Amino acid sequence: MREPIIIGIAGGSGSGKSTVTNELVSMLDTERVTVIEEDSYYKDQSNLPFEQRVKTNYDHPFAFDHDLLIEHLTKLKNKKSIEKPIYDYEVHNRKKITEKVVPKEVIILEGILILSEKEIRDLLDIKVFVDTDSDVRIIRRILRDMKERGRSLDSVILQYMSTVRSAHLQFVEPSKRYADIIIPEGGYNKVAIDLIYSKIKNS
């Protein structure tokens, strides 16, 4: 196998990153693609009680173990397997078990802050930013967190107003300037996705 191509898909929470990722995976064939979520690399907080873990700003760079993510991306690029952390959103902490991830032809890294870190950017062959209006993002976040992560409406809105919005403006939005491709319309942009697919095929 040749050296894997690493694609970074960034954008605000609820922007449509997963939509773009899923479209690319379906076009490329799941046997050829490994997907890594930045969320899996939230720092271990086993030393903190649940009440304190809830108060963590999960949209700030300090919440992530980017050193471990960089180490794992480097291993995958060098065709070595990794043991990826698994994050439990309901308890705001990593699980004790990990998931073995093997390198494949294409590695998709998806996350809100992956373009804000130079060491991560340097490992990416294609840098993508999904650009979506804030009102669409908050509605998507509410629906996702209530259905998939066991959150209440009040907690989602409180988190958005207290940390998510300010972190987006401070860290996520400025990282857009590093993107090779900016996808508008919340990920539902066939032309942009076809362009990324063509770039992968020709790499």
Question: Which of 59, 148, 52 is CA-nearest to residue 92?
Answer: 52
Is 116 a known ligand-binding residue? Answer: no
Is 18 a known ligand-binding residue? Answer: yes
Is 150 a known ligand-binding residue? Answer: no
Angle at 52 between CA 51 and CA 57, to 5 degrees: 120
User: Is residue 188 very low, low, confident or very high in pLDDT (cuts 50, 70, 90)?
Assistant: confident
The Cα–Cα gap between 86 and 94 comes to: 6
Percent of the chain at pLDDT above 70? Answer: 98
User: Is residue 77 very low, low, confident or very high in pLDDT (cuts 50, 70, 90)?
Assistant: very high
Residue 46 has pLDDT above 70, yes or no: yes
pTM: 0.88
Is 12 a known ligand-binding residue? Answer: yes
Is 14 a known ligand-binding residue? Answer: yes
Which residues are within 8 A (CB) of 182 and not within 5 positions of it... i.e. 6 or more apart?
A: 128, 129, 131, 176
DSSP state string for 181-200: EEE-GGG--HHHHHHHHHHH
Q: Where are the beta strands (DSSP E) in 45-178?
A: 82-88, 93-101, 106-110, 126-130
The average confidence (pLDDT) of the chain is 91
- Residue 196, burial from CB neighbour count under 10 angstroms (0-12, 13-18, 19+): buried
Architecture of the domain made up of 5-195: 3-Layer(aba) Sandwich (3.40)
Question: Which of 74, 103, 72, 102 is CA-nearest to residue 85?
Answer: 72
User: Is residue 56 very low, low, confident or very high in pLDDT (cuts 50, 70, 90)?
Assistant: confident
DSSP single-letter state for residue 102? -
Q: Which residues on adjacent β-strands are paired with residue 34?
A: 107
What are the boundaries of each domain within the chain? 5-195
The pLDDT of residue 88 is 92
The one-letter amino acid at 105: E
User: Is residue 177 very low, low, confident or very high in pLDDT (cuts 50, 70, 90)?
Assistant: very high
Is 16 a known ligand-binding residue? Answer: yes
Is 40 a known ligand-binding residue? Answer: no
pLDDT in tens, 86-143: 999 888 899 999 999 999 999 999 999 999 999 999 999 999 999 988 888 888 889 8
